[in-house]
Structure 1
Amino acid sequence: MRMLRPVRLHQALNRTVHTITLPDPDGRAVWAVETDIMEDHRARLYRDGQRTSMAKMPAGFTIPGGKIEVDAGLYGVTRVHLVTPDGQERRLAPAPGTLEYRRAVLTRDHPRLSRGIAVIAVVILLVNLVLAAPAWLEMVTSIPEVAERFGTFTSPVLLPGWLLATLTVAGVVAATERAVTWRHNRIVDAETIWTSL
């Protein structure tokens, strides 16, 4: 039986662990869900540190007290909730060592700084939506196979390579910031698919 390993600093960008403690016939059980977006697109369920099952995402694990639903996208976990039989939902808490946990601690200890980072992330994504996304769309539609099927697109904005690269890196960081704080907006986050190319 495999045991749950702590999240190391070098794994913080790709590996997540979320936990929930629930009543159990033997007292209380700690359930944990582990995902690693670099390794595979699977979720692993642990009970008191021992792996009990694994499933391809989106995944659902039936446990005493409900079902844990898990899914992940390009920038991390998008859903990790316990759904009870009466339909109520509880999000599992990020485990120490994860990027989500570190970000939650920053929010708790420095709320103003946290809000500032959140605002900057939104501004970066909006700037990317206007400037970088059209440039990436032009680049993608210049691929012969794509152009043949969908046609080409010419960006109304011409960006130097260094600026496009800078906006792309900033967009990835901003999208990751929004993912680890569970923020999502259809308009603000519309361009994150381009920053992941």
Structure 2
Amino acid sequence: MHESSRRRAAKRVKPGTGRELKPFRWWQLFSRSLYSLVLSRDDGRPATYTVDVRHRRRFFANDGKGTADLYLHGRHHAESKLPAAFPVPGGTIEVAESPFGLKRCHCVTTDGAEYQLIPDRRSAEGRRAHLARTHPALSRAISITSVVLLVISVLLLIPQLIEVAFTLPPVAARFGTFRSPVSLPAWLNSLLGVGAVLASIERALRLRHNRFLDTVG
């Protein structure tokens, strides 16, 4: 997040209500993200900060943007629309959403260092991180497969979308027609679309995001 974006995000932060942080439930596996980080206060005492994002909120928001809640020692400390920039001792916790989950949940210190917050073990992100620690080879294979699926989707689906766009009368009148070199059956296009969505979700669980690949996916 650029400094100007960070300043704008900081203005969206509102004080918390002090309510207690609710525990993660199994049915929230893909609808909630929960990340935590322990920081040191100026007096040396540890402070546990937790970021709670309920993804369904953006679907009910007029502007389509979700919100993030920040808890301190399990009590509601602050809230903000996304992207968020919460001031914390020694830096800022930055939170940003993608169409498939979170793409950023990091603490940026005043000297520019970045630390990713730790996902709750029961969450989908926590389970994915546990897989990476316990089965690194399998984790790498899944990660590579996700990238391959997205690249294939871009290479095959984009020319077909361009062809559709060139069938619009204003576009055709100005630029002529365009025939895609790729022509796939509907079932295969659907399969590629589902694969791209699953790949983007998997990458979001690791806070991986590419502006082009994951947006198209």
Cα pair distance change 1:143/1:88, threshold 3 Å: same
AA in 1 matched with 2:48? V
Q: Is the 8 A contact 1:136 1:194 kept in 2?
A: no
Corresponding position of 1:135: 160
> Separation in 2 of the partners of 1:121 and 1:85?
34
Give 1:5's match in structure 2, choosing from 22, 26, 50. Answer: 22
Cα pair distance change 1:76/1:147, threshold 3 Å: farther
> Separation in 2 of the partners of 1:162 and 1:65?
52
Cα pair distance change 1:160/1:56, threshold 3 Å: same
> Separation in 1 of the partners of 2:124 and 2:204?
10
Q: Is the 8 A contact 1:7 1:16 kept in 2?
A: no
SS of equivalent to 2:57 = coil
Q: Is the 8 A contact 2:83 2:97 kept in 1?
A: yes
AA in 2 matched with 1:32? T
Percent identity over the alignment is 40
- Once the two structures are overlaid, the 10-residue window that deviates more, 70-79 or 17-26, is 17-26
User: Are 1:175 and 2:200 counterparts?
Assistant: yes
AA in 2 matched with 1:82? C
TM-score for the superposition, normalised by structure 2: 0.76
Corresponding position of 1:65: 90
> Separation in 2 of the partners of 1:37 and 1:70?
13
User: Are 1:194 and 2:212 counterparts?
Assistant: no
CA RMSD of aligned residues (A): 2.8
**What residue ranges of structure 1 are gaps of 5+ in the alignment?**
none
**What residue ranges of structure 2 are gaps of 5+ in the alignment?**
1-17, 59-65
Q: Aligned pairs, how many? A: 192
User: Are 1:87 and 2:112 counterparts?
Assistant: yes
Q: Deviations over 1:22-50 (max 9, x none)?
A: 22458322101111232131111101111
AA in 1 matched with 2:145? I
Cα pair distance change 1:82/1:127, threshold 3 Å: same
> Separation in 1 of the partners of 2:28 and 2:171?
35
